[in-house]
Amino acid sequence: MYVLSEPTKYTFNKVGIKGKIYPMNSLTDKTKFLIIETDSGHETEIKQKESDFIYYILEGHGYFQIEGHKEKCKKGDLIVIPAGNKFYYKGKLKMLLNSTPPWNEQQEETIKKV
């Protein structure tokens, strides 16, 4: 199976966001795709130590704060966050997240509550 439908159930719900992880392990272990949804934004600033995060805005608008730089975002925008950068985001957003290499919680460092 090479075409994956959006998962129907949420895999996680924490710090103001909920997400669905596409089941890709049988196809590749080099990257991961997730659907991220939030009504107000990420409640903590984080640093992903190993994975590059690339967000594509499917719906909504808001802003990303990356390494102290605030940039507005809206439907159709692509946000690239290289590994090692501190960031958070605010707004009502539905996003497709690509994580390369695949995200896991142990790679994530919480910096502070925002």
What is the pLDDT of the chain when averaged over all its residues?
96
Contact 32, 22 (CB under 8 A): yes
Return phi, psi of residue 42, to 5°: -75, 130
Torsion angle (degrees, nearest 10) of CA 30, 24, 46, 114: 160
CA distance 24 to 82: 22
| pLDDT digit string, tens, across residues 50-105 | 999 999 999 999 999 999 999 999 999 999 999 999 999 999 999 999 999 998 88
Domain extents for the chain? 12-47+58-84
pLDDT bin (cut points 50, 70, 90) of residue 26 is confident
Between the CA of residue 15 and those of 46, 83, 90, 96, 105, what are the distances in Å? 11, 20, 12, 18, 13
Across the range 21-42, mean pLDDT stands at 95
